[in-house]
Structure 1
Amino acid sequence: MNNKSIMKFIDLKGVGGPEVLVPQQQEIPSPEEGEVLIKVGSAGINRPDVMQREGKYAPPPGASTIPGLEVSGTVMEMGSGVSEYKIGDHVCALVSGGGYAEYCLAPSPQTLPFPDGITMLEAGGIPETFFTVWTNVFQRGKFKAGDSILIHGGSSGIGTTAIQLVREFGAKEIFVTASSEEKLNACKDLGATHLINYKNENFEAVIAEQTSGRGIDIILDMVGGDYVQKNINCLSLEGRLVQIAFQRSPVNELNLLPMMVNRLTITGSTLRPRTIDQKGAIAIKLKTHVWPLLSSRKIKVLIDSTFPLEEASKAHALMDTSKHIGKILLTTAHLE
């Protein structure tokens, strides 16, 4: 693209509520070595975007300050050293920023072709949640067939992805928490076997009763706060707690004796600051193990709602209510 042209993007005009997300225009960026320029059709909205908007999660050094961590679209240009794609290819990508825009740069190793039969709209909701669940549940949590798992926030983008993946890979029992019967029923439809409404049930007591005191093998949590101790108390012998976010305080007083007695593993990770090579390694695993499941429609991208790019503030307002089930996506005029 020798002649520079202008793209729309969403800028953060300060820190605060959804109203700080404002449409702007700037020149389309050019890819550097190892990068692809994607004409964006769809972009996912994720909790880290909300945290960035609130001033709680700054982009890593060198990343775009434009929010947005996942996109799908069409390859328009490639930097030097990129040989696996050609102009016109349909791809989705995990990015460290820049997703809320009509054009987005992505490192080639973090870019993947669409799974067969997946639409551009659906592909925009794949990277962030699938990369996150794979690296945390399967790699750090060491999930294996026959394990039981508790997934907090079961109706979220992460939750709906995790339910389906562990179901397909042989989970024995899938416990989920959510805030309404509608959300729990959606989780059940995806394969959850034990439904806990955290508004009126104590998940620690429910799990103790339903597992006859044995506990859960893996817990995937993004709540934190007082959930941390409860999660520890819910784990089985050799159980694993995987922490991927803190919606409540990360600072807590804990009784860690159960960790020693039951030989527990407490781990967690953030995806955004990891290296391109590390994210690329996750991409390879997804293409090998998960893309066939998406292509066969054994698992799906659960889409709650879509908004035009210019209405990113409305999309964030919806996410702030936590009323959505599955993914919230932005779309551009380039959606095919």
Structure 2
Amino acid sequence: MKAVLVKSGKGGISDLYIGETENPTPSSGDVIVKIKAFGLNRMDILQRRGGYPVPAGASTVLGVEFSGHVTEVGSGVSEWKINDEVFGLASGGAYAEYIKVPATHLISKPAHLSWVEAASVPEMWITAYQALVVIGKVKAGDNVLVHAGASGVGIAVSQLARLYGAKNVIATASSKEKLDNLVNLPGGIGPTHGVNYKTQDFAEEVKNITGGVGANVVIDFVGQSHWHKNMAALAVDGHMTMLGLLSGGEVESFNLGIILYKRLHIEGSTLRSRSVAYQTELIAGFKRDVVGHLTNFEGTGKLRTIIHSVVYSWTDIQAAHQEMEDDKNIGKIIVEIS
């Protein structure tokens, strides 16, 4: 089959190319899907550069989310049949014509979602659900602070926070354009407030917005540069889920006392490296709690897929990676296999 490969196994954008690799074959409990579209994620850039460890046994081909239809089922699989339309989450291998995944990692594609829209769902929405609901334990009336608010996961977190009844949903981003787009998303699905972390002190803004209470849940991808202000922004008994360390992982001159007297819950999380059993349980919860609320951007659902204005063919995979590296997108970057 054809797949997007990286010359010499790792490299820059110019090292991406479409080449030949082995077709996957299903083991017991697995399903083979012919891919129609796949989503781009920042981990793909890190893996392409050689800086993201691939889980043991996973495909070394890039990509963890996709949409398509079932072409083969392994022994012991009863819930899927040939030609079922699905989208799903994988540990790797989505930049290809075919992919092998556990049957438990597939979700039926709603008829009202296109292949492109469905491919935008798995990684960002399941990550957001895990960070906000499973780990962050968001509840009605909470105040939520989400960093990287214009990223795919950031947009999903804001929408989920509104769905779960958060009082204030405060998103940070680096430009007025991004914040205006987020706050003005139709149907009241976006954050209630936007803060430019480059020109404003987001900890002070959170205190002002929440009447001094602070954020009950913080979702952070940034790490070092945001740490002190995150600690100041958190409410008593607050939860912070850390999903990345974009600014670095070393913090200087930090007094641990704030964690004690605020009784803070701070948890780091990844998704790709989790066990199949953990992912299976998480995806089951996501199916139960979230999928029924999803529509496309023009729909009227409480949760809507938001696709970057440019959808790429996989023959333009280098341009798609450049777009992500340039941080120009608002919403998911999706690539179609043609």
- TM score, norm. by length of structure 2: 0.93
Aligned length: 327
**Matched-pair contact (CA < 8 Å) for 2:44–2:63:** yes
Matched AA of 1:278:
Y
CA contact (8 A) 2:168 2:210 kept: no
| 2:260 alignment counterpart | 260
Q: Distance in 2 between matches of 1:158 and 1:31?
A: 31
Q: Compare 213-222 and 7-16 and name the one that shifted more.
A: 7-16
Confirm or deny: 8 A CA contact 2:155 2:190 kept in the other structure.
no
**2:105 alignment partner in structure 1:** 110
Mean Cα deviation higher: 287-296 or 74-83: 287-296
2:77 corresponds to: 82
State the SS of the aligned residue for 1:75: strand
Distance in 2 of aligned mates of 1:193 and 1:266? 24
1:1-336 maps to which residues of 2 (within 5 A)? Answer: 7-13=1-7, 14-188=9-183, 189=185, 190-253=189-252, 254-295=254-295, 297-304=301-308, 305-333=310-338
Q: Contact 1:52–1:58 at 8 Å: present in 2 too? A: yes
Instruction: Return the offset for 1:48.
Output: 1.0
1:26–1:55 Cα change, 3 Å: closer
Give distance in 2, aligned partners of 1:205 and 1:73. Answer: 46
Q: Distance in 2 between matches of 1:16 and 1:149?
A: 38
Cα distance in 2, alignment partners of residues 136 and 159 from structure 1: 11
Displacement of 1:16 in angstroms is: 3.4
Alpha-carbon contact 1:208-1:214 (below 8 Å) kept: yes
Q: 1:240-263 deviations in whole A, cap 9, x for unaligned?
A: 111011112112233221110110
AA in 2 matched with 1:284: A
Shift, 1:116, TM fit = 4.2
Helix, strand or coil: the match of 1:27?
coil
More divergent stretch after superposition (317-326 vs 302-311): 302-311
1:163, 1:187 within 8 Å by CA — same for their partners in 2? no
Moved over 6 A (4+): none
RCO (CA 8 Å, sep 6+): is it higher in 1 or 2? Answer: 1
Which piece of structure 1 moves more, 309-318 or 39-48? 309-318
SS in structure 1 of the partner of residue 53 of structure 2: coil
Letter in 2 for 1:260: L
Structure 2 residue runs of 5 or longer lacking an equivalent are none
Amino acid aligned to 2:50: G
Show CA shifts across 1:236-288 (max 9, x none): 11011110111121122332211101101111210001111211111111111
Give structure 1 stretches of 5+ with no counterpart.
1-6
Distance 1:155 1:108 in 2: 32
Q: Output the CA distance in 2 between the equivalents of 1:115 and 1:130.
A: 15
SS in 2 for 1:154: coil
How far apart in 1 are the matches of 2:324 and 2:117? 18
> Partner amino acid for 2:246?
Q
SS of 2:141's equivalent?
coil
Give TM-score, length-normalised by structure 1.
Answer: 0.94
With 60-69 and 26-35 compared, the bigger mean Cα shift is at 26-35
* One-letter code aligned to 2:218: I
